[in-house]
């Protein structure tokens, strides 16, 4: 990567990570310029950012020397990509409403270059309707997002979705945005929003153990990539996986079923919702605060389980803001079609994609899949094929259904 990157650092505790982000970007060959908001300077100094970027750091909209040359316009145009990290709730609100009352927001309003935002804030701020509304507006405006992720916050006792993505993840996404061809925003799903869930969930038993399953996330990630290729604006809510983020997709990374539900609800409205994640049905009723220890002569601990929220059923039953097309997955080891048909009715889903995940099939973790599309009209069985091809065909079917019904969010 040999392009120019303008990094806007917002005022949050995650600003310290942005210093490492400068280093990660320069490792990839980028020339990095930095804009610090006034609030950001409470957390990091221009001296530190300048030492790492090996360039001048910009802070003031009304800098006399810069504005003789209309400095904020020059910064907005003399770059290949703008990264906002951390993108605080306040900064996202200003971006969404087109404010330009400081250098950072003036640059963002004046640019015609791609913008990548890495949100970071308290989980309640992230889930607040105002922030969700601002994010939807920015996504519609073409802003790309990475994160936020689930985890512990800086504040003691606070946890949830709100952690800024790691610098290496942001740098990798920046590389993708700089190297891939700009999207023409054409295709059968142009102007549509597709929401996809992927991967397993991890339900903690204690600080080091958890309940999970063997889902790799390959099918869900392939569906998100296929939807983006079809021109859709895509939000991918992913459990813990080892896969690369699909390019051109807004991804929210979570750990538990509860976090996945919150992320899904926050991403609505959507035209199509595809629930490919293998969500754990149960979680431990009370998570141990310390690692459970094995004591000689004592019995194994008893784990009391409680049911996780049913994300597919909950979203399919929503009114208003129910997606026009709700698609679930049924991963079965026996009586695949019978279970899938029962699930479609019980969950109020429009379609169910059913597959056999018995160990002998190699579906979990593998690259191939054999699925059956179950709808109110009947069952269509597809031949064995790659997960990428399954994803392409599913998105093709969904786009055709949406076009026939002419339903828009």
Which of the residues are catalytic? 213
Instruction: Specify the DSSP element, H or E, that contains 19.
Output: helix 15-27
Q: Are 95 and 82 in contact (CB under 8 A)?
A: no
Owner of token pair 């690369």: 244
The DSSP secondary structure of 28-86, one letter per residue, reads TT-EEEEEE-TTGGGTS-HHHHHHHHTS-EE--TT-HHHHTTTHHHHHHHS-SEEEEEE
Q: Are 177 and 114 in contact (CB under 8 A)?
A: yes
Do strands 305-307 and 282-284 pair parallel, antiparallel, or not at all (unpaired)? antiparallel
What are the helix (H) ranges across 268-386? 311-316, 336-347
Distances (CA, A) of 211 to 57, 72, 359: 47, 51, 19
Q: How many CB atoms lie within 10 A of CB 158?
A: 12
Tokens of 160: 């949830």
Tokens of 275: 């629930």
- In Å, the largest CA–CA distance within the chain is 80
Q: Which residues of 153-192 form beta strands (DSSP E)? A: 159-163
Is there a cis peptide before residue 337, judged by omega within 30 degrees of 0?
no
**CA 9/CA 59 separation, integer angstroms:** 10
Owner of token pair 């064995």: 384
Do strands 368-369 and 385-386 pair parallel, antiparallel, or not at all (unpaired)? antiparallel
**CA 222/CA 236 separation, integer angstroms:** 11
Tokens of 380: 């269509």
Tokens of 351: 């379609």
């Amino acid at each position: 990567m040999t392009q120019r990157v303008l990094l806007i650092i917002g005022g949050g505790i995650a600003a310290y990570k942005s210093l490492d982000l400068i280093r990660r970007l320069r490792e990839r060959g980028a020339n990095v310029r930095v804009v610090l908001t006034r609030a950001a300077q409470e957390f990091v100094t221009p001296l530190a950012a300048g030492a790492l970027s090996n360039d001048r750091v910009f802070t003031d909209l009304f800098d006399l020397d810069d504005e003789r040359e209309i400095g904020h316009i020059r910064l907005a145009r003399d770059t290949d990509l703008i990264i906002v990290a951390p993108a605080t709730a306040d900064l996202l609100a200003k971006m969404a409403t087109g404010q330009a009352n400081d250098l950072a927001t003036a640059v963002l309003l004046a640019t015609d270059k791609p913008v990548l935002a890495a949100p970071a804030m308290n989980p309640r701020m992230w889930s607040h309707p105002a922030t969700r509304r601002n994010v939807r507006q920015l996504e519609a405006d073409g802003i790309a997002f990475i994160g936020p992720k689930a985890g512990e916050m800086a504040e003691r006792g606070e946890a949830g979705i709100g952690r800024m993505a790691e610098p290496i993840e942001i740098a990798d996404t920046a590389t993708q945005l700089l190297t891939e061809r700009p999207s023409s925003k054409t295709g059968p799903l142009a102007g549509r929003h597709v929401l996809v869930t992927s991967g397993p969930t991890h339900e903690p038993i204690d600080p080091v153990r958890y309940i999970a399953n063997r889902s790799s996330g390959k099918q869900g990630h392939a569906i998100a990539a296929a939807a983006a290729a079809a021109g859709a604006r895509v939000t991918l809510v992913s459990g813990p996986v080892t896969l690369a983020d699909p390019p051109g997709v807004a991804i929210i990374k979570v750990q538990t079923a509860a976090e996945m539900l919150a992320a899904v609800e926050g991403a609505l409205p959507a035209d199509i919702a595809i629930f490919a994640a293998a969500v754990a049905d149960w979680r431990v009723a009370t998570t141990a605060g310390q690692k459970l220890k094995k004591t000689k002569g004592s019995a194994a601990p008893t784990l009391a389980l409680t049911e996780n929220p049913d994300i597919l059923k909950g979203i399919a039953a929503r009114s208003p803001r129910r997606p026009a097309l709700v698609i679930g997955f049924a991963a079965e080891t026996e009586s695949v079609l019978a279970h899938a048909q029962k699930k479609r009715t019980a969950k109020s889903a429009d379609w169910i994609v059913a597959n056999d995940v018995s160990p002998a099939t190699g579906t979990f973790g593998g690259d191939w899949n054999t699925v059956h599309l179950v709808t109110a009209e009947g069952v269509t069985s597809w031949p064995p094929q790659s997960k990428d091809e399954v994803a392409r065909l599913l998105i093709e079917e969904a786009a055709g259904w949406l076009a026939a019904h002419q339903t828009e969010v």
